[in-house]
Chains A and B, each alone.
Chain A
Amino acid sequence: MHEVVCATRGGQGSRAVRQLALEHAGKTGRSVLFFFALDTTIVQESEETLHVAVRDELEWQGRVLLEIARRQAEEAGVGAKIVIREGRFRDELIDLLKETEASVCLLGAPRGTTATIFGDDAIERLAAEVQRATGVPVEIARPEDLAGEE
């Protein structure tokens, strides 16, 4: 079954992207694969003595955030799996999309420009790049699109 791949990192766009993923899955009857990248660039930028600790803490955080997403899917009656990959966000996402034969990939955009991985139009450029590399359509979910958001 083709899956809906939903990349999340718990930031401002996370609720929007999770909701969009659940809507997609609900309409198509597909399951959702929630994806968290354990971004090694953050690890590399930290001082050497902290590499292991930063990696472990990132993984811990990823597990918690994906568990939140998985439970949300469960409550919505949607099948969901979680995956944590270690490496550069872009590279790992492309590899995952190729491996899973995903039908669609969803990315969450931050509300402002405060995000550290994405910023300004970086999310659009990333989406285009991933789509080009994998052939999988990439959609962007924005927090502003949700009811109740500012």
Chain B
Amino acid sequence: MFETFARILMQEEAEIFLRFEIAVVILLSIAALVAILARRLRHMPYTVALVLAGLALTFFSPDLLSLGENTGEIILLILVPPLVFEATLHIKWQALRRDLGPILLLATAGSLLGAVIVAGLITWTLGVPLVAAFTFGSLIAATDPVAVISFFRSLGVSRRLALLVEGESLFNDGVAIVLFTVALGTAEAVHLGVADAFRLDAAVVDFVRVAFGGLFVGVALGYLVSYVILKNVDDHLVETGTTVALAFGAFVVAEQFHLSGILAVVAAGIFVGNVGSQNTSPTTKLTLDNFWEFLAFTANSIVFLLIGLQTEIDDLIAGIDRIVVAIAAVLLSRAVVVYGLTALHGRLQPGREVPRPFRHVMFWGGLRGAISLALAFKLTEQPDIFGPRLTADILVLTFGVVLFTLLAQATTLTPLLSRLGLTQQPARYETMQRQQALLLARQAGKSELDRLYEQGLLADEVWRAMSSVAAADINDTSRQLLHHLHTYSELKQEMVLEARAEMLKAERTAVGEAARRGVVSDEIAEELFREIDNRAAALALLRERFGGGA
């Protein structure tokens, strides 16, 4: 009897896994197709294209990936940690430290202020109870930079602007979750009739404990992995595997102690990206980069397809008036937060002000995504707190705002960047790059031609003729490049800066190699690494000053 029951259970589980596996295979196939299409549509971010694909699929196959009440948990526990970790791996501490002031101000005070403004407006206009409105304000405070950052990279937008947007988003994810937890706790207390137990001072202390505790867990585990594993193990597969364990482990350990899992992942990622990866070989670095790029692509694809797939179009249409109000509230709060706090920061740290055009991009580029939806889904796991109707309302408002930011804001960001003059790759710079690439390609072609001739695969006469034509092409391209550089003399400066950056990278690799072979001690290598890193940071600063690409 027991064996039969166990067999049935196992069969059911196997079916669930099989269904899940099929769904993942279908999703990844769709993601690949969408990625190919998105490449052709230059102004359409890949993530937005995924959402649209997901929305389209709901018409054909509404239950393609029905995760039911676990959607929030799946996004938060499985998809968000690798996304956050990958994003933090590339953040350089030197650069982050320079703009830590505005980033932390926006992530902490900004998230709180934004949540309060949204809550106030939603309560005032829609009559939503204040605690429920604050819960919505908290979950919608988390900005998602994925769609924006991909644009920044392709358009050559200032690294400082990218860092400000990405940095704020990474930290405010953690802050928004903590605010959401506090709001939900308060709502639960109200629901249970013990609201008197809520104390603001205790909530603030709790907020600090959860946030800093999460950061501490991330730094501690990041330190452990960086100095114990990455420094002493010379196996790129083991090292890469360890970073996966770290990304998920930091999240789980922090959450186990009721600390911020997201902030733990942020801290761990920054630590490994700045310290751990310096202790590894070039092979490991390459493997790490490729692996995490792939994992982030996969997680992103699933998240944004899920957003589309989980959207209930009928509910959105039914609640359109309330959604419009929520969008207005979110935009207004974002404007107050970005313009107000960056102005305040400008007064506190003169000389490091956030430039005005950056502020416009930070305002309009404040998209909402996976975290907001995951938190809204979490509400549906406890429908009793606000009641099923209000819970469903919050979910609809969240979907409405997320979709608006992705479909309206993300798609209009390129024209905004151009209008503000922030796309720093003018035609003359692109021409230089094209000519450089063409020169490299033609030289490679000529080398291959010579190799074929040396191997006796080409007749002497044929080789001479082809070689002569190829050499003329190379000379022609080289002349065009020189003429272009002659015309736009500032491009030479850009060329110097770029080549210098490559030289510093090569110097760093050489020092790392020397240390690995035992030619120099670890201490001396560390010292040289620091020196080279400082020079690279200085170079980045100069490129920013003298306009990279301009």
Please report A residues at the B interface, Cβ cutoff 8 Å.
9-16, 18, 42, 45-47, 49-50, 52-54, 56-58, 60-61, 64-65, 68, 114, 116, 143, 146, 148-149
Question: B472-484: contact bitstring with A at CB < 8 Å (1 yes, 0 no)?
Answer: 0000000000010
B residues 502-550 with Cβ under 8 Å of A? 531, 534-535, 537-539, 541-542, 545-547, 550
CB-based contact A114/B535 at 8 Å: no
Q: How far, in whole Å, are A47 and B94 apart by their CA atoms in the complex?
A: 9
Number of B residues, CB within 8 Å of A? 27
The chain B residue with its CB closest to the CB of A44 is B351
CB-based contact B542/A64 at 8 Å: no
Please report B residues at the A interface, Cβ cutoff 8 Å.
94, 97-98, 351, 483, 486-490, 492-493, 496-497, 500, 531, 534-535, 537-539, 541-542, 545-547, 550
B interface: dominant SS? helix
A interface: dominant SS? helix
Return chain A residues, CB-CB under 8 Å to B546.
Answer: 10-11, 116
The chain B residue with its CB closest to the CB of A13 is B489
CB-based contact A15/B489 at 8 Å: yes
Return chain A residues, CB-CB under 8 Å to B488.
Answer: 12
- Per CB-CB distance, the 4 closest pairs between chain A and chain B, nearest first, are A15-B489, A10-B493, A53-B534, A53-B538
The one of A11, A18, A50, A52 in contact with B490, judged by C-beta atoms closer than 8 angstroms, is A11
Beyond the given pairs A9-B493, A65-B492, A114-B547, 20 more chain A to chain B contacts, judged by CB atoms under 8 angstroms and listed by A's residue number, are A15-B486, A15-B487, A42-B542, A45-B351, A46-B541, A47-B98, A49-B534, A52-B534, A53-B531, A53-B537, A54-B542, A57-B500, A57-B535, A61-B497, A61-B542, A65-B493, A65-B496, A114-B550, A116-B546, A148-B483
CB-based contact A68/B487 at 8 Å: no
Return chain B residues, CB-CB under 8 Å to A143.
Answer: 489
Return chain A residues, CB-CB under 8 Å to B539.
Answer: 57
Nearest-Cβ distance from residue B96 to partner chain A, whole angstroms: 12
CB-based contact B493/A14 at 8 Å: yes
CB-based contact A10/B489 at 8 Å: yes
A–B pairs, 10, beta carbons within 8 Å: A10-B546, A46-B541, A50-B537, A53-B537, A54-B542, A57-B539, A60-B500, A61-B497, A68-B492, A149-B487
Return chain A residues, CB-CB under 8 Å to B534.
Answer: 49-50, 52-53
CB-based contact A47/B538 at 8 Å: no
Q: How far, in whole Å, are A18 and B483 apart by their CA atoms in the complex?
A: 16
Q: How far, in whole Å, are A149 and B467 apart by their CA atoms in the complex?
A: 34
Return chain B residues, CB-CB under 8 Å to A61.
Answer: 493, 496-497, 500, 542
Q: How far, in whole Å, are A11 and B539 apart by their CA atoms in the complex?
A: 16
Return chain B residues, CB-CB under 8 Å to A14.
Answer: 489-490, 492-493
Q: How far, in whole Å, are A148 and B486 apart by their CA atoms in the complex?
A: 9
Q: How far, in whole Å, are A54 and B544 apart by their CA atoms in the complex?
A: 12
The chain B residue with its CB closest to the CB of A57 is B538
Q: How far, in whole Å, are A148 and B546 apart by their CA atoms in the complex?
A: 23
